[in-house]
Structure 1
Amino acid sequence: MNSAALLWGLQFALLNPALAVLLVEVFDASAGEVGVVLAVYNGSGFIASLVLPAYADRRRDYLRPMIACGILTLVLAGLLAVTTSLPVAVCALAVVGGPAGVGNSLLFAHLKNSGAAAREVVRTRAIVSFAWVAGPPLATLVIAGSGPRAVLALLAGVAVLTTATTTAMLRAGTPVAGVTEGKSATGGGGAVDGASVGDSGKRGRIAIVLVVFVALQATNSAAVSIMTLFVTERMHLAVTWAGVTLGVAAALEIPALLIIGRLSDRFSGPRLLASGCVAGIAYYVAMAYAGGPVTLIGLQVLNAWFFAAIAGIGLTLFQELIPRPGLASGLYINTRRVGAIVSGPIISIAAASSLGYSAVFLACAVITAAALAGLPAIGARAMADASHG
């Protein structure tokens, strides 16, 4: 399972950061065209992350769709390697690339379906995070040494390994359906195929969870998006400090996730999630008034804890509130996509104020505080189940 998590994380940690470079260098796309292509690609991923998991939920089988996603990744790498036509590349990304990227969320659905505890889910999430720390620098190194197309060869190799590893999991008889030691395939106590989702109270809690996590993901996306401009224009530091800051935050996220996984055995999920929100508020307020590189780097401890709480506890919360593991993981993944969209207005409105980019961090603090205030509305019982399910 660990090797599968690493490979699934690495698969698109290689492609996504290098995609814009590929579009410009190989397919001669303009800046405007890059934006359109990325929007189409992400839109395809949004739809696929709902449709494919729903199919897997109906069959109670997540490994075979994961294998299909691995094969689609190999097909995508091949199509992008043999063409120089931008329209063909766009079609490949929309038709093949979007569905191929769903394998990662299906992995977590498979974990839940197999009866994995919250600690195991969070630990697996930490492994995926490690892949995202290693993937972009590796892709950059390959591009610098052998050109943009070389990333596609590397992606194809990883796709082969990912498909082989997932196939081995299937042949080993990893549980995929029915009952696992007395638990239903949904990991709950009898909620099957969304029956409990029909309860109006539960639907209300799910709606609140979606809004809360879109808000939290939006603040994270906004903060990351403006980091380079904040460092250079507001703090008047060299641009390299922005890269160092983001790298430190990503590296710290891994131990933070592991710690949260351990603490989930002792503390409830709601408390850990609330602690993450408090850390996020403190981080955003402090960043608005940060005055030097030491403070900038030191504050990433708070940032890492904040994001680790969202990534770790958030995923398990979705999986407990929503009885279908695939749909739960797909909806959680999509809160990040929607959050990235919402971050645009946050940046444009806040940055236009007299405080400039500092106002973006202050706005993020306010939004995080509002999300924290909304947590009790989810329902104490539902959140307690999420932390111990």
Structure 2
Amino acid sequence: MLPSPSAQLASANLFIVLSILTGLVGAFINPLMTYFLVDGLAVPPIYIGLYTISLTLSGLIISQWLGNLADKGSSSRKLYILATVGTIAALVIYSNTQSFLWVLAAGVTLMALGNATTPQMLTLGRQWAGNNKVNILQFNARIRACFSFAWMLGPPLGFMLVASIGFAGAFSVAIFFAVLGMLFVMFFVPEQQIEHNHQHATTQHKAPLSFWLLGASVVMGSMANTMYTSALPLYTLNELALPSYTPGLLMGLVACIEIPVMLFTNRLSRWFDKTHLLAVSFVFGLVFYIGIFNAYLLWHFVLLQLFNAIFYGLYAGIGLTLMQEQLPNRIGFTSAFYSNGMKVGLMFGSTAAGVIAQFGSFQYATLGSAVATVLAIIILILFNRLKHKQG
């Protein structure tokens, strides 16, 4: 027997709060890491790639392992708490060291574990949505919109805190939200039941080639976005000498605009094919990155955020649901794979941004973003053709 609509709404609101708290932690940490490594620890830009590759590879293994455990019946709720402990421990070390080696060690062990918070939160929410027979795309879009809301607040506050009290202050606020999220799960979010026969089915359903192509397209989209966001602080502040609030303003602005785009994706998917909508998002991304490469005044960057918001709103609002539809019986695996795909894109994107800056400038990283969106479109076309052949 399904719960009443009012009970469903109350449960859905729990996951909305949890997604905001989870998103705030990442929104404080991720935009600052490039800046933290180069300005806070005074290491060469190429060290960005070393840190990101090491963290991502370690995180991939841990997140996918935990995702498989969730599919086999382990509690996503408890796995979320475990991952949050890793995040908190890593941030404590980040806040109290000036050594790149200590940051690297904490990253590949503790923060890699902490990176599993997002896929476990997505798995927990998807399990609830499946148990309560709600609209999956609408639910996922709302969760992603909550992440964008967190990114509307996190980066501006993070850069403001760095400017006033340093990186330790920003990381301390991230610790506060991580602790809050962990306590919220412990005391308010219930366990989600998975039927035994469903657990058995997860071990039988193999991922087809089309699934991996879609995953590659998601990686390219994440790579494009990461090259831009990694380069943005140092490009706007060091190379263009724009005001110190510029990176936070732009990240917060695009997060604000993309929220209604994400929420509207459910209605758009009734009129248009999800794969086509994802391709349209990449076209908007391509226009945005070419525009950013040629921008040099603050108002240029501000106006172009509309294209960025449409790109990322459609990309994030549809991508997760589209991947889950490919393997509906392996939600833990697909949620972890989606989150890891985003992280692989982050790894390639931040590494590419660091290499480009080492031998050129951060401005040219946006051209790399444009190339990544073109590759995403090509891969998505291959995915669509293969899906039609598979019937």
Q: TM-score category by the smaller chain? A: 0.7 to 0.9
Deviation at 1:330, TM superposition (A): 0.8
Q: CA 1:153/1:335 → structure 2, altered by over 3 Å: closer, same or farther?
A: closer
Measure, in 1, the Cα distance between the counterparts of 2:283 and 2:212: 22
Identity among equivalent positions (%) equals 22
* CA distance in structure 2 between the partners assigned to 1:351 and 1:142 by the alignment: 26
Residue type at the aligned position of 1:65:
S
The aligned counterpart of 1:328 is: 334
For the pair 1:289 / 2:294, whether they are aligned, the reply is yes
Quote the Cα distance in structure 2 between the aligned partners of 1:121 and 1:384. 28
1-structure distance, mates of 2:30, 2:303 = 31
**One-letter amino acid of the counterpart of residue 13, structure 1:** L
Cα distance in 2, alignment partners of residues 349 and 95 from structure 1: 24
Q: Note the C-alpha offset of 1:357.
A: 4.6
In the alignment, what sits opposite 2:224? 219
Deviation for aligned residue 1:303: 0.5
Of the three residues 301, 304, 317, the one matched with 1:299 is 304
CA distance in 2 between counterparts of 1:91 and 1:37 reads 9
Q: Using the TM superposition, give the Cα deviation of residue 313 of structure 1 relative to its aligned residue in structure 2, in angstroms.
A: 1.2
Aligned to 1:374: 379
1:65 to 62, 76, 92: 76
Partner SS for 1:197: coil
Distance, in Å, in 1 between the alignment partners of 2:359 and 2:107 is: 38
Q: Give the secondary-structure state (helix, strand or coil) at the position aligned to 1:192.
A: helix
Q: Deviation of residue 256 (structure 1)? A: 1.7
Alpha-carbon distance, 1:250 to partner: 2.0
Once the two structures are superposed, what CA deviation does each residue of 1:269-304 show, in whole Å capped at 9, x if it has no partner?
112111101111111122222243222111101101
Q: Given the alignment of the two structures, is residue 271 of structure 1 paired with residue 276 of structure 2, yes or no?
A: yes
Contact 1:80-1:89 within 8 A present in 2 as well: no
Equivalent residue in structure 2 for 1:195, among 185, 196, 204: 204
Show structure 2 runs of 5+ residues with no match.
Answer: 1-11
| Bigger relative contact order (CA 8 A; separation at least 6) | 2
Structure 2 length-normalised TM: 0.75
CA distance in 2, matches of 1:89, 1:299: 34
Show CA shifts across 1:150-195 (max 9, x none).
533553233212322223xx3xxx5x3239xxxx959xxxx93253
Kindly indicate whether the alpha-carbon contact (under 8 Å) linking 1:10 and 1:135 is maintained by their aligned counterparts in 2. Answer: no
**Which residues in structure 2 correspond to 1:27-46 (within 5 Å)?**
30-31=41-42, 41-46=55-60
Q: Please tell me the root mean square deviation across aligned C-alpha atoms, in Å.
A: 4.1
* Alpha-carbon distance between aligned partners in 2 of 1:320 and 1:232, rounded to the nearest angstrom: 42
**1:14 aligned residue (25, 39, 47):** 25
Q: Secondary structure at the match of 1:264?
A: helix
Task: Encode CA deviations 1:199-243: one digit per residue, 9 max, x unaligned.
Answer: xxx2x2122222222212111100111113333466553343333
Q: 1:163 aligns with which of 186, 189, 197?
A: 186
Are 2:56 and 2:347, in contact at CA under 8 Å, matched by a contact in 1?
Answer: no
**Which position in structure 1 is the counterpart of 2:14?**
3
Aligned length: 359
- Segments of 5+ residues of structure 1 without an aligned counterpart are none
Give the distance between the partners of 2:227 and 2:85, measured in 1 at CA.
Answer: 32
1:237-268 deviation per Cα after TM superposition (whole angstroms, max 9, x unaligned): 33433332222112222122112233223322
Alignment of 1:347 with 2:353, yes or no, is yes
Q: How many Å separate the matches in 2 of 1:111 and 1:325? A: 10
Q: CA deviation at 1:75?
A: 7.4
With over 3 angstroms needed to count, the CA separation of the structure-2 counterparts of 1:225 and 1:65, relative to structure 1, is same
Match of 1:47 in 2: 61
**For residues 41 and 375 of structure 1, do their structure 2 counterparts lie closer, same or farther at Cα, with a shift above 3 Å needed?**
closer
The alpha-carbon distance between structure 1 residues 155 and 330, as it changes in their structure 2 partners (threshold 3 A), is: closer
In structure 1, distance between residues paired with 2:326 and 2:223: 22
Note the C-alpha offset of 1:76: 6.0
What is the identity, as a one-letter code, of the residue corresponding to 1:337?
K
Is the Cα–Cα contact under 8 Å of residues 76 and 92 in structure 1 kept in the other structure?
Answer: no
User: Structure 1 residues 347, 69: CA separation in 2 closer, same or farther (over 3 Å shift)?
Assistant: closer
Partner residue, 2:263: 258
Question: Structure 2 CA distance, aligned partners of 1:219 and 1:123?
Answer: 23
Q: After TM superposition, give the deviation of residue 306 of structure 1 in Å.
A: 0.9
Letter in 2 for 1:332: Y
Relative distance call for 1:374 and 1:90 in structure 2 (3 A) is closer
